[in-house]
Structure 1
Amino acid sequence: MQNLASQIQEKAVDSQQQLRTIMVQIAAKERALKISELAKKELEDVGEDKAVYTSLGKMFMKSDLASVRTHLDAEMASLREDIEALQKKQTYHETTASNAEQHLQKIKESIS
Protein backbone atom coordinates (compact mmCIF):
# COMPACT_ATOMS: atom_id res chain seq x y z
CA MET A 1 0.00 0.00 0.00
CA GLN A 2 2.87 2.35 0.86
CA ASN A 3 4.56 1.57 -2.46
CA LEU A 4 1.37 2.35 -4.36
CA ALA A 5 0.97 5.65 -2.53
CA SER A 6 4.54 6.68 -3.34
CA GLN A 7 4.04 5.82 -7.02
CA ILE A 8 0.86 7.87 -7.15
CA GLN A 9 2.57 10.76 -5.41
CA GLU A 10 5.47 10.62 -7.88
CA LYS A 11 2.98 10.72 -10.74
CA ALA A 12 1.24 13.73 -9.21
CA VAL A 13 4.53 15.59 -8.74
CA ASP A 14 5.62 14.74 -12.28
CA SER A 15 2.32 15.98 -13.70
CA GLN A 16 2.60 19.22 -11.75
CA GLN A 17 6.13 19.78 -13.06
CA GLN A 18 4.95 19.08 -16.59
CA LEU A 19 2.09 21.53 -16.06
CA ARG A 20 4.47 24.31 -15.08
CA THR A 21 6.64 23.63 -18.13
CA ILE A 22 3.64 23.58 -20.44
CA MET A 23 2.29 26.82 -19.01
CA VAL A 24 5.62 28.53 -19.69
CA GLN A 25 5.64 27.16 -23.23
CA ILE A 26 2.07 28.35 -23.84
CA ALA A 27 2.96 31.82 -22.59
CA ALA A 28 5.99 31.97 -24.90
CA LYS A 29 3.95 30.82 -27.91
CA GLU A 30 1.21 33.35 -27.11
CA ARG A 31 3.81 36.13 -26.93
CA ALA A 32 5.25 35.08 -30.29
CA LEU A 33 1.73 34.97 -31.75
CA LYS A 34 1.00 38.46 -30.43
CA ILE A 35 4.22 39.78 -31.99
CA SER A 36 3.34 38.19 -35.34
CA GLU A 37 -0.18 39.62 -35.19
CA LEU A 38 1.19 43.08 -34.45
CA ALA A 39 3.70 42.79 -37.29
CA LYS A 40 0.94 41.78 -39.69
CA LYS A 41 -1.22 44.66 -38.52
CA GLU A 42 1.65 47.08 -39.13
CA LEU A 43 2.12 45.65 -42.62
CA GLU A 44 -1.50 46.47 -43.47
CA ASP A 45 -0.56 50.15 -43.44
CA VAL A 46 2.41 49.63 -45.75
CA GLY A 47 1.76 50.40 -49.40
CA GLU A 48 2.45 47.75 -52.02
CA ASP A 49 5.16 49.94 -53.55
CA LYS A 50 7.17 50.24 -50.32
CA ALA A 51 10.27 48.20 -49.59
CA VAL A 52 9.95 45.53 -46.90
CA TYR A 53 12.90 43.83 -45.23
CA THR A 54 13.03 40.57 -43.33
CA SER A 55 15.75 39.61 -40.91
CA LEU A 56 18.10 36.87 -41.97
CA GLY A 57 20.48 36.23 -39.11
CA LYS A 58 22.37 39.46 -38.53
CA MET A 59 21.37 41.04 -41.82
CA PHE A 60 18.20 42.16 -43.52
CA MET A 61 17.01 41.02 -46.91
CA LYS A 62 14.61 42.90 -49.14
CA SER A 63 11.40 40.92 -49.65
CA ASP A 64 8.14 41.47 -51.39
CA LEU A 65 5.19 42.34 -49.19
CA ALA A 66 3.07 39.37 -50.25
CA SER A 67 5.71 36.83 -49.24
CA VAL A 68 6.21 38.51 -45.86
CA ARG A 69 2.46 38.43 -45.23
CA THR A 70 2.30 34.79 -46.32
CA HIS A 71 5.19 33.92 -44.03
CA LEU A 72 3.51 35.68 -41.09
CA ASP A 73 0.22 33.88 -41.78
CA ALA A 74 2.00 30.52 -41.84
CA GLU A 75 3.89 31.36 -38.65
CA MET A 76 0.70 32.41 -36.88
CA ALA A 77 -1.10 29.24 -37.98
CA SER A 78 1.79 27.13 -36.71
CA LEU A 79 1.81 28.97 -33.38
CA ARG A 80 -1.94 28.50 -32.98
CA GLU A 81 -1.57 24.76 -33.63
CA ASP A 82 1.26 24.55 -31.11
CA ILE A 83 -0.79 26.41 -28.50
CA GLU A 84 -3.75 24.11 -29.10
CA ALA A 85 -1.58 21.01 -28.72
CA LEU A 86 -0.01 22.40 -25.55
CA GLN A 87 -3.44 23.18 -24.13
CA LYS A 88 -4.46 19.56 -24.71
CA LYS A 89 -1.34 18.42 -22.87
CA GLN A 90 -2.14 20.88 -20.11
CA THR A 91 -5.64 19.44 -19.73
CA TYR A 92 -4.23 15.91 -19.62
CA HIS A 93 -1.69 16.75 -16.93
CA GLU A 94 -4.26 18.69 -14.89
CA THR A 95 -6.54 15.66 -14.98
CA THR A 96 -3.69 13.31 -14.12
CA ALA A 97 -2.59 15.45 -11.17
CA SER A 98 -6.16 15.77 -9.93
CA ASN A 99 -6.79 12.04 -10.20
CA ALA A 100 -3.54 11.26 -8.41
CA GLU A 101 -4.48 13.60 -5.57
CA GLN A 102 -7.89 11.95 -5.28
CA HIS A 103 -6.33 8.49 -5.19
CA LEU A 104 -3.91 9.61 -2.49
CA GLN A 105 -6.82 10.93 -0.43
CA LYS A 106 -8.64 7.61 -0.79
CA ILE A 107 -5.54 5.70 0.27
CA LYS A 108 -5.09 7.95 3.31
CA GLU A 109 -8.74 7.49 4.25
CA SER A 110 -8.52 3.71 3.90
CA ILE A 111 -5.43 3.60 6.13
CA SER A 112 -7.06 5.72 8.84
Structure 2
Amino acid sequence: MSIPNETLRKVLFELQNKLIEDNRKLTLVRSQIQTKERDKRLAELTKHELSTLKPDTRTYKSVGKAFIKADLPELMKDLDVRVTKAKSDLITLDKSKKHLERNVNESQTYLREITNSRG
Protein backbone atom coordinates (compact mmCIF):
# COMPACT_ATOMS: atom_id res chain seq x y z
CA MET A 1 0.00 0.00 0.00
CA SER A 2 1.48 3.32 -1.06
CA ILE A 3 0.79 6.79 0.25
CA PRO A 4 -0.47 9.21 -2.44
CA ASN A 5 2.12 11.81 -3.49
CA GLU A 6 -0.07 14.75 -2.46
CA THR A 7 -0.56 13.35 1.05
CA LEU A 8 3.14 12.66 1.31
CA ARG A 9 3.97 16.23 0.30
CA LYS A 10 1.58 17.56 2.94
CA VAL A 11 3.16 15.39 5.64
CA LEU A 12 6.68 16.39 4.58
CA PHE A 13 5.72 20.06 4.51
CA GLU A 14 4.17 19.89 8.00
CA LEU A 15 7.16 18.01 9.39
CA GLN A 16 9.60 20.49 7.91
CA ASN A 17 7.62 23.42 9.33
CA LYS A 18 7.48 21.78 12.75
CA LEU A 19 11.22 21.11 12.60
CA ILE A 20 11.99 24.71 11.63
CA GLU A 21 9.71 26.09 14.37
CA ASP A 22 11.15 23.76 17.03
CA ASN A 23 14.71 24.67 16.02
CA ARG A 24 13.82 28.37 16.31
CA LYS A 25 12.32 27.82 19.76
CA LEU A 26 15.33 25.74 20.81
CA THR A 27 17.70 28.53 19.81
CA LEU A 28 15.62 31.01 21.82
CA VAL A 29 15.57 28.76 24.89
CA ARG A 30 19.35 28.23 24.72
CA SER A 31 19.80 32.00 24.58
CA GLN A 32 17.50 32.46 27.58
CA ILE A 33 19.47 29.82 29.50
CA GLN A 34 22.71 31.68 28.86
CA THR A 35 21.15 34.94 30.01
CA LYS A 36 19.74 33.40 33.20
CA GLU A 37 23.08 31.72 33.99
CA ARG A 38 24.84 35.06 33.54
CA ASP A 39 22.29 36.84 35.76
CA LYS A 40 22.61 34.17 38.44
CA ARG A 41 26.39 34.32 38.37
CA LEU A 42 26.38 38.11 38.56
CA ALA A 43 24.05 38.05 41.58
CA GLU A 44 26.23 35.43 43.29
CA LEU A 45 29.40 37.42 42.67
CA THR A 46 27.79 40.64 43.87
CA LYS A 47 26.53 38.90 47.00
CA HIS A 48 30.00 37.52 47.64
CA GLU A 49 31.53 40.98 47.33
CA LEU A 50 28.88 42.54 49.59
CA SER A 51 29.46 39.87 52.21
CA THR A 52 32.98 41.23 52.73
CA LEU A 53 31.64 44.66 53.75
CA LYS A 54 31.03 45.79 57.31
CA PRO A 55 27.32 45.73 58.27
CA ASP A 56 27.22 49.52 58.73
CA THR A 57 28.66 50.29 55.27
CA ARG A 58 26.58 52.65 53.15
CA THR A 59 25.20 50.75 50.20
CA TYR A 60 23.04 51.76 47.26
CA LYS A 61 20.60 49.91 45.07
CA SER A 62 20.34 50.53 41.34
CA VAL A 63 16.86 51.58 40.25
CA GLY A 64 16.93 52.27 36.53
CA LYS A 65 19.51 55.00 36.03
CA ALA A 66 19.39 56.14 39.65
CA PHE A 67 20.86 54.79 42.86
CA ILE A 68 18.87 54.70 46.09
CA LYS A 69 20.35 54.14 49.51
CA ALA A 70 19.58 50.63 50.77
CA ASP A 71 20.58 48.66 53.84
CA LEU A 72 23.12 45.90 53.32
CA PRO A 73 20.80 43.15 54.62
CA GLU A 74 18.11 44.33 52.19
CA LEU A 75 20.55 44.12 49.28
CA MET A 76 21.67 40.65 50.36
CA LYS A 77 18.03 39.53 50.57
CA ASP A 78 17.31 40.91 47.09
CA LEU A 79 20.32 39.08 45.69
CA ASP A 80 19.18 35.84 47.36
CA VAL A 81 15.79 36.25 45.71
CA ARG A 82 17.43 36.88 42.31
CA VAL A 83 19.60 33.77 42.63
CA THR A 84 16.65 31.61 43.70
CA LYS A 85 14.48 32.94 40.86
CA ALA A 86 17.26 32.35 38.32
CA LYS A 87 17.73 28.78 39.55
CA SER A 88 14.02 28.03 39.25
CA ASP A 89 13.89 29.64 35.79
CA LEU A 90 16.89 27.57 34.70
CA ILE A 91 15.16 24.36 35.77
CA THR A 92 12.07 25.31 33.74
CA LEU A 93 14.14 26.34 30.73
CA ASP A 94 16.15 23.12 30.89
CA LYS A 95 12.95 21.05 30.81
CA SER A 96 11.75 23.06 27.84
CA LYS A 97 15.11 22.62 26.10
CA LYS A 98 15.02 18.84 26.57
CA HIS A 99 11.45 18.68 25.27
CA LEU A 100 12.33 20.73 22.18
CA GLU A 101 15.47 18.67 21.52
CA ARG A 102 13.37 15.51 21.69
CA ASN A 103 10.85 17.02 19.24
CA VAL A 104 13.61 18.05 16.83
CA ASN A 105 15.16 14.58 16.94
CA GLU A 106 11.80 12.90 16.36
CA SER A 107 11.00 15.18 13.42
CA GLN A 108 14.41 14.52 11.88
CA THR A 109 13.93 10.78 12.32
CA TYR A 110 10.47 10.89 10.71
CA LEU A 111 11.77 12.93 7.80
CA ARG A 112 14.62 10.45 7.26
CA GLU A 113 12.21 7.50 7.40
CA ILE A 114 9.84 9.08 4.92
CA THR A 115 12.57 10.06 2.45
CA ASN A 116 14.32 6.66 2.76
CA SER A 117 11.08 4.73 2.23
CA ARG A 118 10.40 6.71 -0.97
CA GLY A 119 13.94 6.42 -2.33
Counterpart residue number, 1:78: 85
Secondary structure in 1 matching 2:61: strand
Match of 2:4 in 1: none
Gap runs ≥5 in structure 2: 1-7
TM-score of the superposed pair, with normalisation by structure 2: 0.90
1:4 matches 2:11 = yes
> Offset of 1:57 from its aligned partner?
2.1
Which runs of 5 or more structure 1 residues have no equivalent in the other structure?
Answer: none
**Structure 1 residue 20 corresponds to structure 2 residue 19:** no
Q: Normalised by the size of structure 1, how large is the TM-score?
A: 0.95
Structure of higher CA gyration radius:
2
2:39 to 22, 32, 37: 32
CA offsets per residue over residues 24-80 of structure 1, 9 Å max, x none?
111111111111011000011001111111112222111111111111000111111
**How many Å apart are 1:13 and its aligned residue?**
1.0
Q: Which string of whole-angstrom CA distances, capped at 9 and with x for unpartnered residues, describes residues 66-98 of structure 1?
A: 111111000111111111111111111100000
Q: What amino acid does structure 1 have at the position aligned with 2:92? A: A
SS in 1 for 2:68: strand
Total equivalences in the alignment: 112
Ranked by relative contact order (alpha carbons within 8 Å, sequence separation 6 or more), the top structure is: 1
Off by >3 Å, runs of 4+ in structure 1: none
RMSD: 0.9
